[in-house]
Structure 1
Amino acid sequence: MATRLRKSRKQRGSRFCGWGQIGQHRASGSRGGVGGAGKHKHFYIRTLKEEPDHFGHEQFHALRPSDIKTWVNVKDLNDLIRFSETTSDGKVLLDLDKLKIGKVLGTGSINSALSIKVSKISESAKNKILAAGGEVLLSNELNTE
């Protein structure tokens, strides 16, 4: 259709151009609000498509994240003996670094003398293992030598 025949050209002299007498099709209400209005209501689908991460927040992070992901108590070392190796001098060596266990804690008691290789150990766990006749090998001390 030719531009000169369009309705918008015919309505040029009129005041409201066919949108009624009282301010229709004029302010921000005609476009659903200003700025981010309606993102949780009438523009929700558009928000999900264009900004899928708009709502919610990032998880809270500890100021000092712990580097110890897994740990074991002294009472559980009796169950882990099946993963141990016997050294040439007859000692039973339990390498907790191979089992991806980061620390030994002191709950419970131990039945047998074990040589335990681990990166971290609590003071009470160390005392209980030494009292049972075992020994503690800290892997970070072994690496520095």
Structure 2
Amino acid sequence: MMFIPRRRKKTRKLRGSRLYGYGKQRQHRRSGRGGGFGGAGAHKHWWTWYTAHWPDYFGMGRRGFKRPRAREMNSINLGDIEKIIEELEQKGAVKMREDGKLEVDLIMAGYDKVLGKGRIDRPMVIKAREFSRVALERISQAGGEAVKV
């Protein structure tokens, strides 16, 4: 039913009419116009409403193809590693190796990927899940290693 905006309520106009614009009395009583009592029609004419608004009611919801979502990667630039090295030491993600190189575990620090912006001055062994091509080049130029975990 479409509603028309009015200045006054429609019920004031329909006060003496007995049926209030619904035609027969049964059209505004009980379950005849609402599609049945209670959950009647849940597997019939209310099916799309149930699957859209209450998807777990029948234990399955709407079935079909779901687009795979890309996992969000937490990345860091090479230059930023140099800047936050003290914070990483406090987290326990930096160790000094016997050969004099710093070992930086970025997975422990909460990073997934190393990007190539910036430079590192000292040789480091950097552990991460992924490295960009430029980052690999710059790490090797500084005399370090990139370890994929």
SS at match of 2:109: coil
> Partners of 1:66 and 1:105 in 2: how far apart?
18
SS at match of 1:93: strand
> Partners of 1:64 and 1:107 in 2: how far apart?
29
After TM superposition, give the deviation of residue 30 of structure 1 in Å. Answer: 4.0
- Name the CA shift for 1:63/1:122 in 2 (closer, same or farther; >3 Å): farther
TM-score normalised by structure 2 residue count: 0.53
TM-score normalised by structure 1 residue count: 0.54
* Number of the residue aligned with 1:87: 97
> Partners of 1:127 and 1:67 in 2: how far apart?
25
After TM superposition, give the deviation of residue 107 of structure 1 in Å. Answer: 1.9
> Partners of 1:35 and 1:79 in 2: how far apart?
66
Letter in 2 for 1:122: S
> Partners of 1:31 and 1:69 in 2: how far apart?
56
Taking only the aligned residue pairs, the percentage that are identical comes to 30
CA RMSD of aligned residues (A): 3.2
- Give 5+ residue unaligned stretches, structure 2: 1-17, 37-49, 55-65, 89-93
SS at match of 1:76: helix
Structure 1 runs, 4 residues or longer, greater than 3 Å off: 29-36
Task: Provide, for residues 9-38 of structure 1, a one-character-per-residue CA deviation record: whole Å limited to 9, x for no partner.
Answer: xxxxxxxxxx67x954222x44695349xx
- Give 5+ residue unaligned stretches, structure 1: 1-18, 37-50, 56-61, 140-145
C-alpha contact (below 8 Å) 1:68/1:102 kept by paired residues: no
After TM superposition, give the deviation of residue 63 of structure 1 in Å. Answer: 3.0
SS at match of 1:77: helix
* Number of the residue aligned with 1:11: none
* Number of the residue aligned with 2:71: 67
